[in-house]
Structure 1
């Protein structure tokens, strides 16, 4: 994980995927890849790449086959 959180290092796609993870995590406790691709309207490869970035920065944490929210310093509306 990168030290500190640099939101400016995230792309628009990363924010979109993060918002989808947040929405699914709030309702079901975690997000699944298939649900994220549907929610984002993106291809699996693009979602996986974004998840990697979000995990690297600590915003998302892998939970087996699912994803949850890591510590964060900004809010999202969904």
Structure 2
């Protein structure tokens, strides 16, 4: 296991809201759509402030990587099926 993956911890350590935001980013990435704050908020029905907070936490934890005004999946060792 790579050192950066080890620091992420288990996906079950994410809050329900963080997991919802992460899954929305993953779905948008799979569909090759930009995972912007507004796109994630629309997809999840969460407020933009909540989405922004969760995105910040997920970036700090290494789960997401900012790219311009959008977000991409970071390193992970578990799969999502979409």
Identify the TM-score tier after normalising by the shorter chain: 0.7 to 0.9
On the 8 A contact 1:17/1:51 being kept in 2, the answer is yes
CA-to-aligned-CA distance 1:4-50 (integer Å, 9 cap, x gap): 11234410100000000000011115411111001111000000010
How many equivalent pairs are there?
A: 77
- Alignment partners' CA distance in 1, 2:61 and 2:76: 10
- Give the superposed CA RMSD: 1.8
Which is higher, the Rg of structure 1 or of structure 2? 2
Instruction: Determine which of 50, 60, 63 is the counterpart of 1:59.
Output: 63
Unaligned runs of 5+ in 1: none
Unaligned runs of 5+ in 2: none
> Residue 42 of structure 1 aligns to a residue in which SS?
coil
- Alignment partners' CA distance in 2, 1:36 and 1:12: 15
Is 1:44 paired with 2:68? no
Question: What residue in structure 1 maps to residue 19 of structure 2?
Answer: 15
TM-score using structure 2 length: 0.82
